[in-house]
Amino acid sequence: MRAILCEAWGKPEDLVLAEHPAPPAPGPGEVRIDVRAAGVNFADILMVAGQYQEKPHLPFSPGLEAAGLVSDCGPGVTKVRPGDRVVALLDHGGFAEQALARESDVFGIPAEMDFATAAGFAIAYGTSHAALRWRADLRPGEILLVHGAAGGVGLTAVEIGKALGATVIATAGGAEKLAVAAAHGADHLIDYRAENIRARVKEICDGSGADVVFDPVGGEPFDASLRCTNWNARLVTVGFASGTVPQIPANILLVKNLAVFGLYWGSYRKHQPDRLAAAFDEMFVWYREGRLKPHLSYRLDLAEAGRALALLRDRRSTGKVVLTTGGAAGSA
C-alpha cells in the first residue's frame, strides 16, 4: 500500500511517499480500515519532529485521524462490521491507504457526511466539545472568548460555543480569517494584529469580561485573557500554537476566582473512552441539524502530506486540511 513515512525526526518536507507493508489482519478488538481521507493536525508536526508526547518507532506513518470503510474486524468486535463507513482515532498511521484501529476508537459517521469531512471532524470538534462541555461547563447566555478562531480547532470552538448557547468573541490575525470565524457564527471579532485583546473584550463586555476562554494559542493571547475575564470565569488551554507556554500569576487566579483547566483530549481514549462515544453522538446530531458546518480549506492528495503539514505550520490554512487517498475520498 501507499503510505507517507517519517524515516528520521525532522520537518514536514522530509516526509516521503513509499510502498509500505499493509497492516496485519486485525487482532482481538481491532478493526482494519481502507482509508479514504485523513485529517492533518498540528500534533503531526510535533510527532514528525520527535517533540510529541509519544514517539513512535522509526519509520512510521503520521496521521491521528482517518475516515474510510471497515475492511475487516478482529475477534470480539461487535460495534462495526465490514463495509461500515467510519472515522477512527489513531496513535499514528492515518497517512496511508490502510490503518488498524482499536474498536473503542472507531465511530460510525452520518450518511450525510463524506469521508473528507469526517476525517477532519473527530479531533477538532472532539477537542472543542470536551473543553467547553466537560471542562468549562459553558452555559447558555455566557460570553465565550475563542483564540485562533479561524484555525482547525478554534473554528470548531466557535460553532460548539454557539450550539451551547453562548455569545462568541473570536480573535484571529487579519480580516480574511476573521471573516471565516464570522461565517461560522462568531458574534464579535478582534484582529489581534491590529487591536488590543484586553481592551476590546472589555469594550464588548461593557467593562466586565469573558466567562469562558478557549485557548489553543498560549503566549500573549493567554496573558491578555487572564486580565479580561469575568469573576468566576474558566479558561481552558488546549495547546500552544504560538510556541510560548505561558506562566500563570497565581494572584490573578485568587482575586478573580478564576479557574484554569488543561485539556489533552487524546487522554480520554485511555481514561474515559465511553465519554467519547456519547460526545460524538451529540455532535453528529448537531451536524445533521446544520449547527456544525466543518470548513476544509485544503483537500490534498496523500502524496502532498509534507505540503499539508507546512500549511498548518506556517498558518496559511483556515479550518482543516485533509489528505485523500483517491477519487472516492469525498464520496459516500
Whether residue 80 sits in one domain with residue 162: no
**pLDDT the model gives residue 331:** 36
Number of domains in the chain: 2
Q: Examine the domain organization and report whether 150 and 201 are in the same domain.
A: yes
pLDDT for 213 beyond 70:
yes
* Interval 300-320: pLDDT, tens: 999 999 999 999 999 899 999
pLDDT greater than 50 at residue 241: yes
In a domain? residue 303: yes
Confidence check: pLDDT of 20 > 70 = yes
Please write the tens of the pLDDT for every residue from 216-227. 999 999 999 999
- Kindly state whether residues 247 and 304 are assigned to the same domain: no
Question: Could you tell me if 136 and 203 lie in one domain?
Answer: yes
Mean pLDDT across 13-34: 96
310 is a domain residue: yes
35 inside domain: yes
What is the tens place of the pLDDT at every residue in 230-239?
A: 999 999 999 8
Domain-located, residue 312: yes
Beta strand residue intervals within the chain, DSSP E: 2-5, 16-19, 30-40, 65-73, 85-89, 98-102, 106-108, 143-146, 167-172, 188-191, 210-215, 229-237, 259-262, 296-301, 320-324
Q: Angle at which helices 175-183 and 154-163 pack, to 10 degrees?
A: 30
pLDDT tier at 147, thresholds 50, 70, 90? very high
Please give the average per-residue pLDDT across 170-183, as a whole number: 96
Q: Out of 229, 251, 266, pick the residue that ends a domain.
A: 266
Q: Is 71 exposed, middle or buried (0-12, 13-18, 19+ CB in 10 A)?
A: middle
Give the domain-ending residue among 266, 286, 311.
266
Give the pLDDT band of residue 264 (cuts 50, 70, 90): very high
Residues 114, 199, single domain; the answer is no
Q: Which long-range contacts (CB under 8 A, 24 or more apart) does 264-268 make?
A: 264/53, 265/123, 265/126, 265/127, 265/130, 265/131, 265/238, 266/64, 266/89, 268/130
Distances (CA, A) of 19 to 22, 97, 257, 295, 330: 9, 10, 55, 31, 23
Q: Are 160 and 285 in contact (CB under 8 A)?
A: no
The pLDDT value recorded for residue 53 is 82
User: Are 158 and 188 a contacting pair, CB within 8 Å?
Assistant: no
- Does residue 106 share a domain with residue 9? yes
Instruction: Kindly state whether residues 131 and 102 are assigned to the same domain.
Output: no
- Residue 289 forms part of a structural domain: no
- Parent domain of 308: 2-121+294-324
What is the pLDDT confidence band of residue 114, given thresholds at 50, 70 and 90?
very high
Judge if 228 and 98 occupy the same domain. Answer: no
Query: Distance (Å, rounded) from C-alpha 303 to C-alpha 67?
Result: 17
107 & 17 share domain = yes
Return the CATH number at 66. Answer: 3.90.180.10
Q: Are 128 and 214 in contact (CB under 8 A)?
A: yes
Give residue 54's pLDDT band: very low, low, confident or very high (50, 70, 90).
confident
In a domain, 36, yes or no: yes
- Percent of the chain exceeding pLDDT 90 equals 92
251 exposed, middle or buried (CB, 10 Å; 0-12, 13-18, 19+)? exposed
Residue 152: inside a domain, yes or no?
A: yes
Q: Are 203 and 246 contained in the same domain?
A: yes
pTM: 0.92
Residue 137: is its pLDDT beyond 50?
yes
Verify that 165 and 260 share a domain, yes or no.
Answer: yes
Per-residue pLDDT reduced to its tens digit, 244-261: 899 999 999 999 999 999
133: left (phi over 0), alpha (psi -120 to 50) or beta: alpha
Specify whether 11 is located in the same domain as 46: yes
